[in-house]
Structure 1
């Protein structure tokens, strides 16, 4: 039987997320693999893949909050807001030298909490059906709307000054949809010297940590996380009887069962430890929002 579950991958630099998916398809012998949120080629770190029927769980993972480790260079702007782009402006060394830690802290404070952020023009956001980065690379003007995001933590762990620049090593905890490149750009703008990202590593997505991930060269030996374990981690779980599992799989409601759910949606797990699906409240009842194949192993 085709292996089914979630694969945690520590992506190497220089690869696209699609490159990782392609490599996983070859290693596991299936084309039914998707991912829960891309990483830029420059970035490294955690990429969550769904294998076979577990791709149905990705929709519940993609919106989870995330943690990044990054390096921001103050003193230069690029057209992509990161080190892969072309330099567009450079501040005088004297202007960079005058920046104090308190000024940097003030800029970071402004970019912490619930903020309105304009994504980078080379983001994967679609504009009239086309990716923003495709439009930008074609030389077309890209105007993206601001979006509300939450930056729970924006912490400087190290500052070092090199060759007329200030490099800040930072840790960011943020909501899904936050662009760390945009934080670098906006901090540089606030300080009046420009800024861009020189390194980015994603270390966490919701409850999943990069420390538990497999490198891109060893995907064929990776152990998949069982769908029931994943769903329980992300959504919480309730245990159902064999009769209830059968009814849920057949699209029937569990009458009067809403009081058993601490949260909604949540994962329903049968007596064998197999994920039945994701269920939600419907008034006083419970009904499946998404079902998993019955024959899937635990």
Structure 2
């Protein structure tokens, strides 16, 4: 019975969390292409994937999602959702829905069976680290575990002079034990990695919240203000659905407007409950964090953050 480390890694990559991360990776890649910040090899892969998508769309008679995605990201002069609405005679919600469908189809073409080699550098590094950790545990830790659990069986086999059938049984038991132990430790490693990732993401979201509060109070440093404005501009141009569009607008009126609105004013403007406003603000902070800290993001300058925090502390004192 052969144990394949690659099979375990591929099984983990098919879970819901990696699929969602791949979808986010493709969205960020499309945003970089739209802003002209893609690497040459990345642009080549995206263009080739869109050619495959075009053939598939014509074959299945589902060309509208392809065309909406094309005009949103790949046109020499990309169109806004309002322009796409007029071009295809559809409402804004349908525009965002078609963009989402196009991104999902493109994700399948890039990551699915017979897909393109779209693994980003960090994904390849993570896979190599996972292989290295698993191999190390197999050679160092599991050896002692197997010896301890099978000691009684070894002693029994020595007394019985181990027949051929006994050796086959021994090998099967050893490999079953190794596979069980490997699977348990591999799963634990995945859980720990996800927990660490979640904590890091929450810390970054809190950092963005504090930066937004400083911006609203006029206490941001020039560098921090510039990065926040750039991030909001990218957020505005890359919102791909109606909820993201509304989250952007609420975040803008709450933090970035010349005269920021209070929650009750935002509630009247968008005809939504105050509770829903806070949900949209949270959604906006999450999206802004992804734009600033994700792949190809606009990361806040640590020096500016420290200076702003120090300045606020001195003012308070």
TM-score by length of 1: 0.21
- In terms of fraction of residues, the more strand-rich structure is 1
- Give the greater-gyration-radius structure (CA): 2
Normalising by structure 2, what TM-score?
0.20
